Amino acid sequence: MEHFREYVEKKLGESFDGLHDVVRSKYMSRFFAEKILAPRNPIIPTVDDDVIACIVDGTNDQGVDFICREDGVVLIIQAKFSGGGRKTAKRRPEEAADFEYFRNVLNRLQNFRALQMTENLRDICAEIDWDRDRFQLHYITLRQLTTDQTNTKEYTALAVDGVPDLADRTELYLLNENKLNLELRDTLSLDRAEAWEATLMATANQGSDPWMHLGSDDARSCYVGRLSGAELANLFTKHRSSIFSLNIRNYIGDTATNKAIKKTAIAAPEEFFFFNNGISALAESIVPDPKDPRILHCKNLSIVNGAQTVRSLHKTQTDNPLAAKKAQVLMRITETQSKKTVPEREFLDSVTKFNNTQNAIKISDFRSNDKIQHDIRAKFSELPSLNGKKFSYKNKRSGASEKEGKKGSDISIGMEEFTKTLYAFQFGPDDVYGGTGHVFDATAEGGYAKLFGAGGEVLPALTNEAFQKYAGIWFVCNNARDLWKDESRKTKHSALERRWMFYYAFGCVVRKAYDGLDDQYDADLRKLSKPSWMNDGADGVVQKVIARQSRFAMQAMKQAYEDNSKTGASHRNWFRSAGTLEGIKNKINDSWIIVEEHASDYRFRQAK
């Protein structure tokens, strides 16, 4: 609860105690998505504005506060906050009708054409593939649960007409305050810095050692053995998501497969070993127990493939402990060296990648250990401080920090936001190219190689000149962002809904101002990588240029959007259409005659 209070007060700049429960509910769904689920669930955006785009709470929201869809998975959250103040001894009970209404949410979303809905929610509903998509439904509440709700182990969404197998592709969770606290602690455990140990006991083998050891002192070491389902279930109970710290698709499983795993474990536990692919894990050290050959002591264990098996066996043990004990699973544990060395980071990245190719994952997580990402991190750390604060580039997603918002010593820059900003400024929003996956696609055809590569291959490091240009783009976009935010709030114009499209329009204006002056364009952006122009007390000359460029860009966006609206095209599709990029660029070119004689006022080095 304290983390939630601090989160809301930081977002709103107001006392939590003075807020209405409706406001608290709205931010509770966002807190749950952004700070609890996102570090473990690759489909949830990690960039602030992308998170905001998923919030549909309000009139005609059809019982949905937060919704996102990526890689064939639809995640829906409904939050109920009740009972205001720091300490709440009594809260009104959860109303059965509210939860039942949420259980029927998929019926309403499928019937979106006939119901009143917010425009954003309607657009997402139109994209859902009801024959293939999987659904994760979360109902979170601070109300008191009824006896029936407390006793029920698993919940199901109500059936949808014409979609007979939907139950096999849907998971429904009811989370009260106790369960929310457990989920939060689980996420916080992902960021713990201290070493920890997992103890694994293999099943004894008649006539042979319980663990087969491969490798030697001068090569990689690996242990292979059989573990009971109960042993794995207990491992998860004790350590929760920390045993999946390197598993980049922790929460993205095939719901039908998970249910089939559990069904097999209960119906045929003796045959489970032959039907299951087994589990692959990494550990920084593996030490056999001197007294019991069945036991291995593993430092910082991480299961990189088999998260769904472990979770399914954990549920099996809850329902049928005997079956979980009988079920046997093949496990392979590979000993790794220090993560700090570049070769070892590449090895860890390869193991994780090659063990996770069968399910859709968030491709940006594969890029976090790239050499070039560590290079960018190092280069940002070497920049001069801004108002006494150093820059800290975060190439990995992380959980909700217990000290979040209290340090104030660094200016954090997220890898995904940095990369998407550069791409939007130069080429257009990632949505136009199929989504975040394109921007982090390292193949010759992908956006990642386009940004950070040469000849279709990703470079190990940026040249100083390339980094300075990219840092300059990042800084001017961040300054322009505040202007866009103020204008979008003031006018509420639909064209200004997403800043990625604004960054593209802004970039077009900047490039137009430097038309035919490519060398000067690059040189001026490189100069802006020195953050002194943003320090308190600076002359503000660059900010005035950014203001001119931003106003011009937003006017072009509005005109292009209004032209598009006349055709009856979808609002959501406007932000994903290549034609939109061309339309905005044409509006800028057509209107440039108004300022052509004063083009130097739109250039950074010529600012007056």
In this structure, which amino acid lies at residue 79? A
pLDDT tier at 164 (50, 70, 90 boundaries)?
confident
Note the pLDDT of residue 365. 63
Distance CA 62, CA 449 (A): 41
Token representation of residue 20: 């209405």
Distance CA 258, CA 280 (A): 17
| CB 479 within 8 Å of CB 546 | yes
Q: Which of 94-108, 348-362, 526-540 shows the lowest per-residue confidence on average (mean pLDDT)?
A: 348-362
Distance CA 242, CA 192 (A): 9
Instruction: Give me the helix-helix angle, 541-565 and 499-513, nearest 10°.
Output: 120
**Beta-sheet strands, E only, within 162-246:** 170-175, 197-201, 211-214, 222-228
Distance CA 151, CA 163 (A): 29
Q: What residues pair up with 454 in beta bridges, in sequence order?
A: 457
Residue range 93-152, pLDDT digits in tens? 667 788 889 999 999 999 888 888 887 888 788 888 888 888 999 999 887 776 555 555
Distance CA 449, CA 439 (A): 9
Between 26 and 330, the higher pLDDT residue: 330
Mean pLDDT of 548-568: 92
Q: Which residues contact 400 (CB under 8 A, 6 or more apart)?
A: 3, 7, 35, 36, 39, 184, 187, 188
Phi and psi at residue 89, to the nearest 5°: -75, -35
Q: Is the pLDDT of residue 298 over 50?
A: yes
Q: Is the pLDDT of residue 248 over 70?
A: no
Q: Is the pLDDT of residue 202 over 90?
A: yes
CA distances 170 to 255, 273, 299, 301, 316, Å, are: 6, 26, 35, 30, 18
User: pLDDT above 70 covers what percent of the chain?
Assistant: 85
Note the pLDDT of residue 363. 59
pLDDT tier at 320 (50, 70, 90 boundaries)?
very high
In this structure, which amino acid lies at residue 297? H
The 10 Å CB-count burial string (b at 16+, else e) for 513-525 is bbeeeeeebbbbb
Distance CA 232, CA 329 (A): 9
Closest CA to 69 of 60, 81, 61, 77: 77
Q: Is the pLDDT of residue 228 over 90?
A: yes
Residue range 484-494, pLDDT digits in tens? 999 988 998 98
Note the pLDDT of residue 35. 86
Token representation of residue 581: 């990029």
Q: What share of the chain is helix, strand, coil (3-state, %, to 5)?
A: 50, 15, 35
Domain ranges of the chain: 2-186, 192-362, 371-602
Q: Which of 87-96, 102-111, 180-189, 493-502 shows the lowest per-residue confidence on average (mean pLDDT)?
A: 87-96
Phi and psi at residue 543, to the nearest 5°: -60, -35
Note the pLDDT of residue 360. 42
CA atoms within 13 A on the CB side of 168: 10
| CB 557 within 8 Å of CB 495 | yes
Mean pLDDT of 298-305: 88
pLDDT tier at 342 (50, 70, 90 boundaries)?
low
Phi and psi at residue 251, to the nearest 5°: -100, 0
- According to DSSP H, which parts of 90-221 are helical? 96-103, 105-110, 119-127, 147-151, 177-188
Mean pLDDT of 29-48: 83
Q: Which of 53-62, 219-228, 229-238, 406-415 shows the lowest per-residue confidence on average (mean pLDDT)?
A: 406-415
Q: Is the pLDDT of residue 250 over 60?
A: no
Residue range 404-420, pLDDT digits in tens? 434 456 888 988 899 99
pLDDT tier at 83 (50, 70, 90 boundaries)?
low
Q: Which of 404-413, 419-428, 451-460, 495-504 shows the lowest per-residue confidence on average (mean pLDDT)?
A: 404-413
pLDDT averaged over every residue in the chain: 84
Note the pLDDT of residue 206. 83
| CB 509 within 8 Å of CB 455 | no
Note the pLDDT of residue 289. 95
In this structure, which amino acid lies at residue 116? Q
Distance CA 254, CA 170 (A): 9
Mean pLDDT of 434-447: 86
Between 365 and 385, the higher pLDDT residue: 385
User: pLDDT above 90 covers what percent of the chain?
Assistant: 39
Residue 330 falls in which region: left (phi positive, over 0), alpha (psi -120 to 50) or beta: beta
Token representation of residue 60: 């005609």
pLDDT tier at 49 (50, 70, 90 boundaries)?
confident
Q: Is the pLDDT of residue 89 over 60?
A: no
Between 328 and 398, the higher pLDDT residue: 328
Mean pLDDT of 547-556: 96
Note the pLDDT of residue 524. 95
Report the relative pairing of strands 328-335 and 302-305 from DSSP bridges: unpaired
Between 452 and 396, the higher pLDDT residue: 452
Q: What residues pair up with 550 in beta bridges, in sequence order?
A: none
CA distances 124 to 112, 121, 138, 420, Å, are: 10, 5, 18, 21
Tokens 């109920």: give the residue.
Answer: 80
Note the pLDDT of residue 448. 93
Q: Which residues contact 575 (CB under 8 A, 6 or more apart)?
A: 429, 431, 432, 497, 498, 500, 501
Closest CA to 201 of 223, 227, 240: 227
pLDDT tier at 84 (50, 70, 90 boundaries)?
very low
Q: Is the pLDDT of residue 401 over 50?
A: no
Between 486 and 38, the higher pLDDT residue: 486
Mean pLDDT of 467-478: 96
- Say whether pTM exceeds 0.95: no
Between 468 and 539, the higher pLDDT residue: 468
Distance CA 314, CA 308 (A): 10
Q: Is the pLDDT of residue 388 over 70?
A: yes
Q: Which of 102-116, 206-220, 358-372, 416-430 shows the lowest per-residue confidence on average (mean pLDDT)?
A: 358-372
